Structure 1
Protein backbone atom coordinates (compact mmCIF):
# COMPACT_ATOMS: atom_id res chain seq x y z
CA UNK A 1 0.00 0.00 0.00
CA UNK A 2 1.38 3.41 -0.98
CA UNK A 3 -0.42 5.25 1.82
CA UNK A 4 -1.62 4.65 5.37
CA UNK A 5 -3.84 7.71 5.54
CA UNK A 6 -5.58 9.56 2.78
CA UNK A 7 -6.45 13.26 2.59
CA UNK A 8 -9.69 14.30 4.24
CA UNK A 9 -12.46 14.36 1.66
CA UNK A 10 -10.54 12.29 -0.87
CA UNK A 11 -11.65 9.09 -2.62
CA UNK A 12 -8.24 7.40 -2.66
CA UNK A 13 -8.72 3.64 -2.86
CA UNK A 14 -12.44 3.80 -3.65
CA UNK A 15 -11.78 2.70 -7.25
CA UNK A 16 -9.12 0.20 -6.19
CA UNK A 17 -5.65 0.47 -4.67
CA UNK A 18 -3.94 0.94 -8.03
CA UNK A 19 -6.48 3.18 -9.73
CA UNK A 20 -5.01 5.84 -12.06
CA UNK A 21 -8.07 7.35 -13.77
CA UNK A 22 -10.18 8.53 -10.84
CA UNK A 23 -13.72 9.63 -11.62
CA UNK A 24 -13.35 8.45 -15.23
CA UNK A 25 -14.29 5.08 -13.74
CA UNK A 26 -17.87 6.43 -13.72
CA UNK A 27 -17.96 6.44 -17.55
CA UNK A 28 -19.91 3.21 -17.78
CA UNK A 29 -21.37 1.79 -21.01
CA UNK A 30 -24.83 2.78 -19.76
CA UNK A 31 -23.75 6.39 -19.30
CA UNK A 32 -22.07 6.49 -22.71
CA UNK A 33 -25.28 5.24 -24.30
CA UNK A 34 -27.18 7.98 -22.51
CA UNK A 35 -24.70 10.49 -23.95
CA UNK A 36 -25.24 9.12 -27.46
CA UNK A 37 -28.98 9.72 -27.05
CA UNK A 38 -28.25 13.46 -26.71
CA UNK A 39 -27.45 13.47 -30.45
CA UNK A 40 -30.50 14.45 -32.50
CA UNK A 41 -29.12 16.66 -35.29
CA UNK A 42 -25.76 15.08 -36.16
CA UNK A 43 -23.99 18.44 -35.92
CA UNK A 44 -20.38 18.48 -34.68
CA UNK A 45 -18.56 21.36 -32.97
CA UNK A 46 -14.78 21.51 -32.67
CA UNK A 47 -13.86 22.82 -29.21
CA UNK A 48 -10.14 23.45 -29.65
CA UNK A 49 -8.38 26.74 -30.12
CA UNK A 50 -5.65 26.81 -32.77
CA UNK A 51 -2.76 25.30 -30.84
CA UNK A 52 -0.57 28.37 -31.36
CA UNK A 53 -3.08 30.42 -29.31
CA UNK A 54 -2.84 30.72 -25.55
CA UNK A 55 -4.54 32.63 -22.79
CA UNK A 56 -1.81 32.52 -20.18
CA UNK A 57 1.40 34.39 -19.58
CA UNK A 58 3.41 31.36 -18.51
CA UNK A 59 7.13 31.27 -19.31
CA UNK A 60 7.19 27.48 -18.79
CA UNK A 61 4.95 26.99 -21.82
CA UNK A 62 5.86 28.08 -25.31
CA UNK A 63 4.03 27.98 -28.67
CA UNK A 64 4.51 25.01 -30.98
CA UNK A 65 7.45 25.02 -33.39
CA UNK A 66 6.75 23.29 -36.68
CA UNK A 67 9.73 22.20 -38.77
CA UNK A 68 10.81 19.78 -41.48
CA UNK A 69 13.58 17.25 -40.93
CA UNK A 70 16.49 17.33 -43.38
CA UNK A 71 16.86 14.18 -45.49
CA UNK A 72 19.99 13.80 -47.61
CA UNK A 73 20.68 17.51 -47.39
CA UNK A 74 17.17 18.71 -48.26
CA UNK A 75 14.15 19.42 -46.10
CA UNK A 76 11.48 16.75 -46.30
CA UNK A 77 9.03 19.21 -47.82
CA UNK A 78 7.99 19.40 -51.49
CA UNK A 79 10.58 16.67 -51.96
CA UNK A 80 10.63 14.50 -55.07
CA UNK A 81 10.84 10.87 -54.04
CA UNK A 82 13.62 8.78 -55.48
CA UNK A 83 13.98 5.02 -55.67
CA UNK A 84 17.65 4.32 -56.23
CA UNK A 85 18.73 6.44 -59.21
CA UNK A 86 15.19 6.93 -60.50
CA UNK A 87 13.13 10.02 -59.69
CA UNK A 88 9.46 9.15 -59.26
CA UNK A 89 6.56 11.47 -60.08
CA UNK A 90 5.74 11.65 -56.37
CA UNK A 91 6.20 14.77 -54.25
CA UNK A 92 6.17 14.40 -50.47
CA UNK A 93 5.89 16.64 -47.41
CA UNK A 94 6.74 15.49 -43.90
CA UNK A 95 7.11 17.55 -40.76
CA UNK A 96 7.71 17.50 -37.02
CA UNK A 97 6.71 19.64 -34.08
CA UNK A 98 8.06 20.69 -30.72
CA UNK A 99 4.92 20.89 -28.63
CA UNK A 100 4.37 22.09 -25.07
CA UNK A 101 1.57 19.87 -23.86
CA UNK A 102 -0.26 22.54 -21.83
CA UNK A 103 0.20 25.67 -23.93
CA UNK A 104 -3.27 25.87 -25.50
CA UNK A 105 -6.44 23.71 -25.40
CA UNK A 106 -5.44 20.90 -23.06
CA UNK A 107 -6.16 18.16 -20.58
CA UNK A 108 -4.46 18.09 -17.19
CA UNK A 109 -3.59 14.56 -16.15
CA UNK A 110 -3.77 13.50 -12.51
CA UNK A 111 0.05 13.73 -12.51
CA UNK A 112 -0.15 17.49 -13.06
CA UNK A 113 -0.95 18.51 -9.48
CA UNK A 114 0.12 16.95 -6.20
CA UNK A 115 0.58 18.00 -2.61
CA UNK A 116 2.97 17.72 0.28
CA UNK A 117 0.93 15.45 2.51
CA UNK A 118 1.68 12.98 5.30
CA UNK A 119 0.45 9.85 3.55
CA UNK A 120 2.59 7.58 5.76
CA UNK A 121 1.05 8.87 8.98
CA UNK A 122 4.47 9.45 10.53
CA UNK A 123 4.21 13.21 10.90
CA UNK A 124 6.37 13.95 7.86
CA UNK A 125 4.80 15.25 4.66
CA UNK A 126 5.77 13.54 1.40
CA UNK A 127 5.28 14.76 -2.16
CA UNK A 128 2.36 12.66 -3.35
CA UNK A 129 -0.27 12.66 -6.07
CA UNK A 130 -3.71 11.14 -6.55
CA UNK A 131 -4.14 7.75 -4.86
CA UNK A 132 -0.79 8.10 -3.13
CA UNK A 133 1.54 7.86 -6.11
CA UNK A 134 4.93 9.24 -5.13
CA UNK A 135 7.32 11.86 -6.41
CA UNK A 136 10.68 10.31 -7.20
CA UNK A 137 9.27 6.79 -7.45
CA UNK A 138 6.31 7.07 -9.81
CA UNK A 139 6.79 10.62 -11.08
CA UNK A 140 10.44 10.98 -11.93
CA UNK A 141 12.14 14.31 -12.60
CA UNK A 142 14.72 14.55 -15.38
CA UNK A 143 18.19 13.32 -14.52
CA UNK A 144 20.95 13.39 -17.08
CA UNK A 145 19.67 11.91 -20.31
CA UNK A 146 16.60 10.39 -18.63
CA UNK A 147 13.17 11.67 -17.76
CA UNK A 148 10.96 13.34 -16.97
CA UNK A 149 8.34 10.64 -16.84
CA UNK A 150 5.05 10.00 -15.09
CA UNK A 151 5.29 6.24 -14.69
CA UNK A 152 1.90 6.47 -12.99
CA UNK A 153 -1.02 8.83 -13.64
CA UNK A 154 0.38 9.88 -17.04
CA UNK A 155 -1.90 11.23 -19.73
CA UNK A 156 -1.91 7.88 -21.53
CA UNK A 157 -4.05 6.55 -18.66
CA UNK A 158 -6.75 9.07 -19.53
CA UNK A 159 -6.39 8.30 -23.25
CA UNK A 160 -6.96 4.60 -22.70
CA UNK A 161 -10.00 5.28 -20.49
CA UNK A 162 -12.11 6.17 -23.53
CA UNK A 163 -12.88 9.86 -23.04
CA UNK A 164 -16.40 10.00 -24.37
CA UNK A 165 -19.59 10.80 -22.52
CA UNK A 166 -22.26 13.35 -21.78
CA UNK A 167 -21.10 16.94 -21.80
CA UNK A 168 -23.32 19.44 -20.02
CA UNK A 169 -22.69 23.13 -20.68
CA UNK A 170 -23.30 25.96 -18.23
CA UNK A 171 -23.40 29.24 -20.14
CA UNK A 172 -21.98 31.63 -17.55
CA UNK A 173 -21.54 34.31 -20.21
CA UNK A 174 -25.29 34.35 -20.89
CA UNK A 175 -26.01 34.93 -17.19
CA UNK A 176 -23.13 37.13 -16.07
CA UNK A 177 -21.73 38.73 -19.22
CA UNK A 178 -18.05 38.81 -20.17
CA UNK A 179 -16.60 40.86 -17.30
CA UNK A 180 -14.41 39.14 -14.71
CA UNK A 181 -16.61 37.72 -11.97
CA UNK A 182 -16.01 35.19 -9.22
CA UNK A 183 -18.40 32.23 -9.32
CA UNK A 184 -19.07 30.48 -6.06
CA UNK A 185 -21.70 27.89 -5.24
CA UNK A 186 -24.68 30.27 -5.28
CA UNK A 187 -23.68 31.90 -8.57
CA UNK A 188 -23.17 28.52 -10.26
CA UNK A 189 -26.50 27.21 -8.95
CA UNK A 190 -28.23 30.37 -10.21
CA UNK A 191 -26.92 29.68 -13.71
CA UNK A 192 -27.77 25.98 -13.58
CA UNK A 193 -31.31 26.68 -12.37
CA UNK A 194 -31.91 29.53 -14.84
CA UNK A 195 -30.88 27.31 -17.75
CA UNK A 196 -32.77 24.27 -16.40
CA UNK A 197 -29.64 22.15 -16.49
CA UNK A 198 -29.56 18.62 -15.12
CA UNK A 199 -26.08 17.59 -14.01
CA UNK A 200 -25.74 13.81 -13.70
CA UNK A 201 -23.03 11.56 -12.28
CA UNK A 202 -20.55 10.74 -15.02
CA UNK A 203 -21.00 14.09 -16.80
CA UNK A 204 -18.31 16.37 -18.18
CA UNK A 205 -19.08 19.88 -16.87
CA UNK A 206 -18.39 22.51 -19.56
CA UNK A 207 -18.12 26.18 -18.51
CA UNK A 208 -18.51 28.92 -21.13
CA UNK A 209 -17.39 32.42 -20.08
CA UNK A 210 -16.32 34.18 -23.30
CA UNK A 211 -12.62 33.98 -22.45
CA UNK A 212 -11.70 31.90 -25.51
CA UNK A 213 -13.56 34.33 -27.77
CA UNK A 214 -11.41 37.14 -26.39
CA UNK A 215 -8.29 35.12 -27.23
CA UNK A 216 -9.46 34.51 -30.79
CA UNK A 217 -10.31 38.17 -31.23
CA UNK A 218 -6.72 39.14 -30.37
CA UNK A 219 -4.69 36.40 -32.04
CA UNK A 220 -1.89 34.09 -30.89
CA UNK A 221 -0.32 36.61 -28.48
CA UNK A 222 -3.20 38.25 -26.59
CA UNK A 223 -3.12 41.26 -24.29
CA UNK A 224 -3.10 39.70 -20.82
CA UNK A 225 -4.41 42.90 -19.23
CA UNK A 226 -7.56 42.46 -21.32
CA UNK A 227 -7.87 38.75 -20.56
CA UNK A 228 -7.40 39.36 -16.84
CA UNK A 229 -10.65 41.36 -16.93
CA UNK A 230 -12.53 38.83 -19.06
CA UNK A 231 -14.82 35.98 -18.12
CA UNK A 232 -16.21 34.36 -15.01
CA UNK A 233 -13.90 32.17 -12.93
CA UNK A 234 -14.74 29.55 -10.34
CA UNK A 235 -14.03 30.60 -6.75
CA UNK A 236 -12.24 27.67 -5.18
CA UNK A 237 -12.25 29.46 -1.82
CA UNK A 238 -15.97 28.70 -1.48
CA UNK A 239 -16.28 25.43 0.48
CA UNK A 240 -19.88 24.95 -0.67
CA UNK A 241 -18.72 24.99 -4.30
CA UNK A 242 -16.09 22.36 -3.50
CA UNK A 243 -18.71 20.23 -1.76
CA UNK A 244 -21.00 20.49 -4.80
CA UNK A 245 -18.22 19.42 -7.19
CA UNK A 246 -17.64 16.35 -5.05
CA UNK A 247 -21.31 15.46 -4.60
CA UNK A 248 -22.23 16.03 -8.26
CA UNK A 249 -20.37 12.95 -9.51
CA UNK A 250 -18.90 14.80 -12.51
CA UNK A 251 -15.84 13.21 -14.11
CA UNK A 252 -14.22 16.41 -15.43
CA UNK A 253 -14.49 20.19 -15.49
CA UNK A 254 -13.67 21.78 -18.85
CA UNK A 255 -13.64 25.56 -19.20
CA UNK A 256 -12.72 28.10 -21.84
CA UNK A 257 -10.44 29.78 -19.27
CA UNK A 258 -6.96 29.22 -17.90
CA UNK A 259 -6.80 26.88 -14.88
CA UNK A 260 -10.63 26.53 -14.68
CA UNK A 261 -10.52 28.51 -11.41
CA UNK A 262 -9.44 32.02 -10.53
CA UNK A 263 -6.45 33.09 -8.47
CA UNK A 264 -6.60 36.15 -6.22
CA UNK A 265 -3.16 37.74 -6.56
CA UNK A 266 -4.04 40.30 -3.88
CA UNK A 267 -4.56 37.56 -1.27
CA UNK A 268 -1.89 34.87 -1.65
CA UNK A 269 -2.31 31.59 0.24
CA UNK A 270 -0.90 31.23 3.73
CA UNK A 271 1.99 28.82 4.39
CA UNK A 272 0.97 25.20 3.98
CA UNK A 273 -2.20 25.91 2.00
CA UNK A 274 -2.92 25.50 -1.69
CA UNK A 275 -2.93 28.29 -4.27
CA UNK A 276 -5.53 26.49 -6.41
CA UNK A 277 -8.19 24.76 -4.27
CA UNK A 278 -10.09 23.26 -7.22
CA UNK A 279 -6.85 21.74 -8.56
CA UNK A 280 -6.23 20.30 -5.11
CA UNK A 281 -9.76 18.90 -4.83
CA UNK A 282 -10.10 17.60 -8.37
CA UNK A 283 -6.66 16.39 -9.45
CA UNK A 284 -5.21 15.43 -6.06
CA UNK A 285 -8.13 14.27 -3.95
CA UNK A 286 -10.91 13.07 -6.27
CA UNK A 287 -9.32 12.19 -9.62
CA UNK A 288 -11.46 14.68 -11.57
CA UNK A 289 -9.61 15.72 -14.73
CA UNK A 290 -9.46 19.39 -15.75
CA UNK A 291 -9.66 20.74 -19.29
CA UNK A 292 -8.44 24.28 -19.95
CA UNK A 293 -8.79 26.80 -22.76
CA UNK A 294 -11.54 24.94 -24.62
CA UNK A 295 -13.26 26.99 -27.34
CA UNK A 296 -16.90 26.58 -26.39
CA UNK A 297 -18.58 29.62 -27.93
CA UNK A 298 -20.11 28.08 -31.09
CA UNK A 299 -21.46 25.14 -29.12
CA UNK A 300 -22.76 27.44 -26.38
CA UNK A 301 -24.54 29.69 -28.88
CA UNK A 302 -26.18 26.71 -30.61
CA UNK A 303 -27.33 25.12 -27.36
CA UNK A 304 -28.73 28.42 -26.10
CA UNK A 305 -30.62 29.04 -29.35
CA UNK A 306 -32.16 25.56 -29.20
CA UNK A 307 -32.91 25.57 -25.47
CA UNK A 308 -30.56 22.66 -24.87
CA UNK A 309 -27.58 22.14 -22.60
CA UNK A 310 -26.18 18.64 -23.28
CA UNK A 311 -24.14 16.95 -26.00
CA UNK A 312 -22.10 13.87 -26.76
CA UNK A 313 -18.50 14.81 -25.95
CA UNK A 314 -15.51 12.97 -27.43
CA UNK A 315 -12.17 14.26 -26.16
CA UNK A 316 -9.26 11.79 -26.01
CA UNK A 317 -5.82 13.24 -25.28
CA UNK A 318 -2.64 12.10 -27.00
CA UNK A 319 -1.69 8.60 -25.92
CA UNK A 320 1.78 9.81 -24.98
CA UNK A 321 3.28 7.63 -22.23
CA UNK A 322 4.75 9.56 -19.32
CA UNK A 323 3.32 13.00 -20.16
CA UNK A 324 1.48 15.03 -17.50
CA UNK A 325 -0.74 16.92 -19.94
CA UNK A 326 -1.87 16.86 -23.54
CA UNK A 327 -3.30 19.06 -26.25
CA UNK A 328 -6.78 17.96 -27.23
CA UNK A 329 -9.25 18.60 -30.03
CA UNK A 330 -12.59 17.87 -28.38
CA UNK A 331 -15.67 17.26 -30.51
CA UNK A 332 -19.18 17.94 -29.27
CA UNK A 333 -22.02 16.30 -31.21
CA UNK A 334 -25.62 17.45 -30.83
Structure 2
Protein backbone atom coordinates (compact mmCIF):
# COMPACT_ATOMS: atom_id res chain seq x y z
CA UNK A 1 0.00 0.00 0.00
CA UNK A 2 1.28 3.43 -1.00
CA UNK A 3 0.16 6.85 0.14
CA UNK A 4 0.05 9.78 -2.29
CA UNK A 5 -1.04 13.40 -2.37
CA UNK A 6 -2.47 14.97 -5.49
CA UNK A 7 -4.22 18.07 -6.77
CA UNK A 8 -7.97 17.87 -7.30
CA UNK A 9 -10.17 20.91 -7.91
CA UNK A 10 -7.33 23.18 -6.81
CA UNK A 11 -7.01 21.37 -3.49
CA UNK A 12 -4.49 18.82 -2.22
CA UNK A 13 -6.05 15.43 -1.52
CA UNK A 14 -4.54 12.54 0.43
CA UNK A 15 -4.92 9.21 -1.34
CA UNK A 16 -4.14 5.52 -1.18
CA UNK A 17 -2.67 3.61 -4.10
CA UNK A 18 -3.38 -0.13 -3.94
CA UNK A 19 -1.35 -2.97 -5.39
CA UNK A 20 -3.65 -3.11 -8.41
CA UNK A 21 -3.11 0.64 -9.04
CA UNK A 22 -6.52 1.75 -7.85
CA UNK A 23 -6.64 5.22 -6.30
CA UNK A 24 -8.81 6.01 -3.28
CA UNK A 25 -9.31 9.42 -1.71
CA UNK A 26 -8.72 9.39 2.04
CA UNK A 27 -10.61 11.57 4.54
CA UNK A 28 -7.50 12.54 6.50
CA UNK A 29 -5.98 15.93 5.78
CA UNK A 30 -2.44 14.65 5.31
CA UNK A 31 -0.06 11.79 6.11
CA UNK A 32 0.87 13.25 9.48
CA UNK A 33 -2.81 13.17 10.45
CA UNK A 34 -2.80 9.48 9.53
CA UNK A 35 0.22 8.92 11.76
CA UNK A 36 -1.39 10.66 14.71
CA UNK A 37 -4.65 8.75 14.26
CA UNK A 38 -2.77 5.45 14.22
CA UNK A 39 -0.91 6.38 17.40
CA UNK A 40 -4.12 7.46 19.13
CA UNK A 41 -5.87 4.22 18.21
CA UNK A 42 -2.74 2.17 18.90
CA UNK A 43 -2.89 0.49 15.54
CA UNK A 44 -0.97 0.49 12.28
CA UNK A 45 -1.49 3.05 9.54
CA UNK A 46 -2.31 0.26 7.09
CA UNK A 47 -5.27 -0.80 9.23
CA UNK A 48 -6.73 2.70 9.19
CA UNK A 49 -6.24 3.05 5.43
CA UNK A 50 -7.90 -0.32 4.79
CA UNK A 51 -10.89 0.72 6.92
CA UNK A 52 -11.23 3.89 4.85
CA UNK A 53 -11.05 2.29 1.42
CA UNK A 54 -13.26 -0.66 2.33
CA UNK A 55 -16.15 1.79 2.69
CA UNK A 56 -15.52 3.72 -0.52
CA UNK A 57 -15.11 3.34 -4.26
CA UNK A 58 -11.89 4.00 -6.20
CA UNK A 59 -11.61 7.20 -8.17
CA UNK A 60 -12.26 6.93 -11.89
CA UNK A 61 -8.71 7.99 -12.71
CA UNK A 62 -5.34 6.50 -13.60
CA UNK A 63 -2.39 7.24 -11.33
CA UNK A 64 -0.48 8.59 -14.34
CA UNK A 65 -3.18 11.20 -14.89
CA UNK A 66 -2.89 12.72 -11.43
CA UNK A 67 -0.90 15.82 -10.59
CA UNK A 68 1.14 14.42 -7.72
CA UNK A 69 2.78 16.56 -5.07
CA UNK A 70 5.19 15.58 -2.29
CA UNK A 71 3.48 12.72 -0.39
CA UNK A 72 4.22 14.40 2.93
CA UNK A 73 5.04 17.96 3.86
CA UNK A 74 7.80 16.80 6.15
CA UNK A 75 8.62 19.34 8.87
CA UNK A 76 12.29 18.49 8.39
CA UNK A 77 14.38 16.34 6.09
CA UNK A 78 17.66 15.04 7.47
CA UNK A 79 20.28 13.08 5.55
CA UNK A 80 22.99 10.57 6.36
CA UNK A 81 26.26 10.60 4.46
CA UNK A 82 29.03 8.13 3.62
CA UNK A 83 26.81 5.15 4.37
CA UNK A 84 27.78 3.26 1.21
CA UNK A 85 31.24 2.32 -0.07
CA UNK A 86 30.56 4.18 -3.33
CA UNK A 87 29.80 7.37 -1.42
CA UNK A 88 33.04 7.13 0.53
CA UNK A 89 35.00 6.71 -2.72
CA UNK A 90 33.30 9.75 -4.28
CA UNK A 91 33.88 11.96 -1.25
CA UNK A 92 37.54 10.93 -1.12
CA UNK A 93 38.01 11.72 -4.80
CA UNK A 94 36.52 15.20 -4.64
CA UNK A 95 38.35 16.15 -1.42
CA UNK A 96 41.78 15.10 -2.72
CA UNK A 97 41.44 16.05 -6.39
CA UNK A 98 41.77 12.38 -7.24
CA UNK A 99 45.18 12.09 -5.60
CA UNK A 100 44.28 9.91 -2.66
CA UNK A 101 47.36 8.43 -0.98
CA UNK A 102 46.30 8.17 2.67
CA UNK A 103 43.24 7.83 4.89
CA UNK A 104 40.84 10.80 4.89
CA UNK A 105 38.16 11.93 7.33
CA UNK A 106 35.58 10.29 5.03
CA UNK A 107 37.24 6.93 5.71
CA UNK A 108 36.98 7.70 9.40
CA UNK A 109 33.28 8.55 9.10
CA UNK A 110 32.59 5.38 7.12
CA UNK A 111 34.29 3.21 9.77
CA UNK A 112 33.18 5.17 12.86
CA UNK A 113 30.42 4.18 15.23
CA UNK A 114 28.73 7.58 14.80
CA UNK A 115 27.30 8.23 11.30
CA UNK A 116 27.31 11.58 9.51
CA UNK A 117 23.85 13.16 9.77
CA UNK A 118 22.93 16.67 8.69
CA UNK A 119 19.82 18.79 8.19
CA UNK A 120 18.94 18.81 4.50
CA UNK A 121 15.64 20.67 4.17
CA UNK A 122 12.58 22.08 5.90
CA UNK A 123 8.90 21.94 5.02
CA UNK A 124 8.91 25.31 3.26
CA UNK A 125 11.91 24.33 1.11
CA UNK A 126 10.81 20.81 0.22
CA UNK A 127 9.80 19.95 -3.36
CA UNK A 128 8.01 16.98 -4.89
CA UNK A 129 7.47 15.06 -8.14
CA UNK A 130 8.02 17.03 -11.36
CA UNK A 131 9.11 20.15 -9.45
CA UNK A 132 12.28 21.81 -10.70
CA UNK A 133 15.55 21.25 -8.91
CA UNK A 134 17.99 24.12 -9.14
CA UNK A 135 21.70 24.24 -9.83
CA UNK A 136 23.78 26.49 -7.61
CA UNK A 137 25.09 29.51 -9.47
CA UNK A 138 28.50 29.27 -7.72
CA UNK A 139 29.19 25.59 -8.39
CA UNK A 140 30.53 23.85 -11.50
CA UNK A 141 30.19 20.24 -10.38
CA UNK A 142 26.72 19.13 -9.34
CA UNK A 143 24.93 15.82 -9.20
CA UNK A 144 21.78 14.22 -7.83
CA UNK A 145 22.06 11.73 -4.99
CA UNK A 146 19.30 9.10 -5.18
CA UNK A 147 18.40 7.86 -1.71
CA UNK A 148 15.84 5.81 0.16
CA UNK A 149 14.02 8.01 2.65
CA UNK A 150 12.65 6.87 5.99
CA UNK A 151 9.44 8.50 7.21
CA UNK A 152 9.57 8.45 10.99
CA UNK A 153 7.48 9.36 14.00
CA UNK A 154 8.53 11.73 16.77
CA UNK A 155 9.65 8.66 18.71
CA UNK A 156 11.77 7.31 15.88
CA UNK A 157 9.44 4.61 14.55
CA UNK A 158 9.83 3.97 10.82
CA UNK A 159 6.31 4.16 9.37
CA UNK A 160 7.08 4.38 5.67
CA UNK A 161 9.62 4.65 2.87
CA UNK A 162 9.93 7.22 0.11
CA UNK A 163 12.44 8.37 -2.52
CA UNK A 164 14.71 11.34 -1.98
CA UNK A 165 16.93 13.41 -4.27
CA UNK A 166 19.74 14.96 -2.22
CA UNK A 167 21.23 17.41 -4.71
CA UNK A 168 24.94 17.99 -4.09
CA UNK A 169 27.69 20.38 -5.18
CA UNK A 170 30.76 18.18 -5.31
CA UNK A 171 33.26 20.99 -5.85
CA UNK A 172 32.06 23.00 -2.85
CA UNK A 173 32.09 19.98 -0.53
CA UNK A 174 35.49 18.97 -1.87
CA UNK A 175 37.02 22.35 -1.07
CA UNK A 176 36.45 22.00 2.66
CA UNK A 177 34.27 19.70 4.78
CA UNK A 178 33.02 22.75 6.69
CA UNK A 179 31.31 23.91 3.50
CA UNK A 180 28.90 20.95 3.70
CA UNK A 181 25.79 23.12 4.38
CA UNK A 182 26.41 25.17 1.22
CA UNK A 183 27.21 22.00 -0.75
CA UNK A 184 23.90 20.47 0.31
CA UNK A 185 21.38 23.19 1.07
CA UNK A 186 20.12 25.76 -1.40
CA UNK A 187 16.88 26.64 -3.13
CA UNK A 188 15.11 23.62 -4.66
CA UNK A 189 17.88 21.20 -3.67
CA UNK A 190 15.72 18.49 -2.10
CA UNK A 191 12.78 16.53 -3.49
CA UNK A 192 10.86 13.51 -2.21
CA UNK A 193 8.12 11.29 -3.61
CA UNK A 194 6.16 10.24 -5.50
CA UNK A 195 4.65 7.98 -2.83
CA UNK A 196 5.16 6.70 0.68
CA UNK A 197 5.26 2.94 0.89
CA UNK A 198 3.82 1.90 4.25
CA UNK A 199 6.39 0.06 6.32
CA UNK A 200 3.98 -2.77 7.13
CA UNK A 201 3.86 -3.68 3.43
CA UNK A 202 7.61 -3.84 2.78
CA UNK A 203 8.91 -7.40 3.07
CA UNK A 204 12.61 -6.53 3.15
CA UNK A 205 13.77 -2.88 3.14
CA UNK A 206 17.34 -4.14 2.68
CA UNK A 207 16.51 -5.54 -0.74
CA UNK A 208 15.14 -2.57 -2.64
CA UNK A 209 16.51 -1.77 -6.09
CA UNK A 210 17.50 1.84 -6.70
CA UNK A 211 17.96 3.19 -10.23
CA UNK A 212 18.98 6.68 -11.28
CA UNK A 213 18.71 7.95 -14.86
CA UNK A 214 19.77 11.36 -16.10
CA UNK A 215 18.47 12.65 -19.43
CA UNK A 216 19.91 15.41 -21.58
CA UNK A 217 17.70 16.38 -24.51
CA UNK A 218 15.63 13.22 -23.86
CA UNK A 219 18.68 10.96 -24.18
CA UNK A 220 20.01 8.93 -21.27
CA UNK A 221 23.51 10.19 -20.44
CA UNK A 222 23.83 8.31 -17.16
CA UNK A 223 22.19 5.28 -15.58
CA UNK A 224 23.22 3.71 -12.31
CA UNK A 225 21.76 0.81 -10.34
CA UNK A 226 22.20 -0.16 -6.69
CA UNK A 227 20.44 -2.05 -3.92
CA UNK A 228 19.83 -1.18 -0.29
CA UNK A 229 21.62 -4.41 0.64
CA UNK A 230 24.84 -2.46 -0.03
CA UNK A 231 24.14 -0.09 2.85
CA UNK A 232 26.70 -0.45 5.62
CA UNK A 233 24.48 0.75 8.46
CA UNK A 234 21.03 -0.40 9.58
CA UNK A 235 18.09 1.98 9.34
CA UNK A 236 17.32 1.75 13.06
CA UNK A 237 20.95 2.63 13.75
CA UNK A 238 20.72 5.80 11.67
CA UNK A 239 17.42 6.77 13.31
CA UNK A 240 18.83 6.17 16.79
CA UNK A 241 21.58 8.72 16.19
CA UNK A 242 19.15 11.22 14.67
CA UNK A 243 16.86 11.21 17.70
CA UNK A 244 19.69 11.15 20.25
CA UNK A 245 19.40 14.35 22.33
CA UNK A 246 17.33 15.80 19.49
CA UNK A 247 13.68 16.78 19.10
CA UNK A 248 12.15 15.08 16.06
CA UNK A 249 8.71 15.92 14.73
CA UNK A 250 6.00 13.66 13.36
CA UNK A 251 6.63 12.91 9.70
CA UNK A 252 10.32 13.74 9.66
CA UNK A 253 12.17 12.18 6.72
CA UNK A 254 15.68 10.74 7.03
CA UNK A 255 17.52 10.13 3.77
CA UNK A 256 19.85 7.14 4.15
CA UNK A 257 22.71 7.96 1.77
CA UNK A 258 23.54 7.19 -1.82
CA UNK A 259 25.26 4.32 -3.60
CA UNK A 260 24.91 5.78 -7.10
CA UNK A 261 27.40 8.43 -8.20
CA UNK A 262 27.84 9.60 -11.82
CA UNK A 263 31.39 9.57 -13.31
CA UNK A 264 33.73 12.18 -11.88
CA UNK A 265 33.72 14.14 -15.14
CA UNK A 266 29.92 14.44 -15.12
CA UNK A 267 27.93 17.48 -13.98
CA UNK A 268 24.26 18.34 -14.33
CA UNK A 269 23.20 20.95 -16.88
CA UNK A 270 20.25 23.25 -17.35
CA UNK A 271 17.18 21.41 -18.74
CA UNK A 272 18.44 17.95 -17.73
CA UNK A 273 15.90 15.58 -16.21
CA UNK A 274 16.55 13.28 -13.26
CA UNK A 275 14.63 10.07 -12.65
CA UNK A 276 15.07 8.07 -9.46
CA UNK A 277 13.24 4.76 -9.21
CA UNK A 278 12.97 2.51 -6.16
CA UNK A 279 11.09 -0.77 -6.30
CA UNK A 280 7.60 -0.64 -4.76
CA UNK A 281 7.76 3.15 -4.31
CA UNK A 282 7.73 4.55 -7.84
CA UNK A 283 9.69 7.02 -9.95
CA UNK A 284 10.66 10.48 -8.72
CA UNK A 285 11.21 12.73 -11.75
CA UNK A 286 12.52 16.30 -11.64
CA UNK A 287 13.67 18.70 -14.36
CA UNK A 288 16.87 20.67 -13.76
CA UNK A 289 17.06 24.46 -13.91
CA UNK A 290 20.09 26.70 -13.68
CA UNK A 291 19.82 28.97 -10.66
CA UNK A 292 19.69 32.68 -11.38
CA UNK A 293 23.20 34.11 -10.86
CA UNK A 294 23.84 35.84 -7.59
CA UNK A 295 23.34 39.64 -7.69
CA UNK A 296 26.17 41.58 -9.31
CA UNK A 297 26.64 43.56 -6.10
CA UNK A 298 27.98 40.41 -4.43
CA UNK A 299 30.18 39.28 -7.31
CA UNK A 300 33.31 40.88 -5.86
CA UNK A 301 33.18 38.40 -2.97
CA UNK A 302 33.23 35.34 -5.22
CA UNK A 303 36.00 34.33 -7.60
- TM bin, normalised by shorter chain, reads under 0.3
Q: Which of 1 and 2 has greater Rg?
A: 1
Give TM-score, length-normalised by structure 1: 0.24
Which has the bigger relative contact order, CA under 8 A and spacing at least 6?
1
Which structure has more strand as a fraction of its residues?
2
Give TM-score, length-normalised by structure 2: 0.26
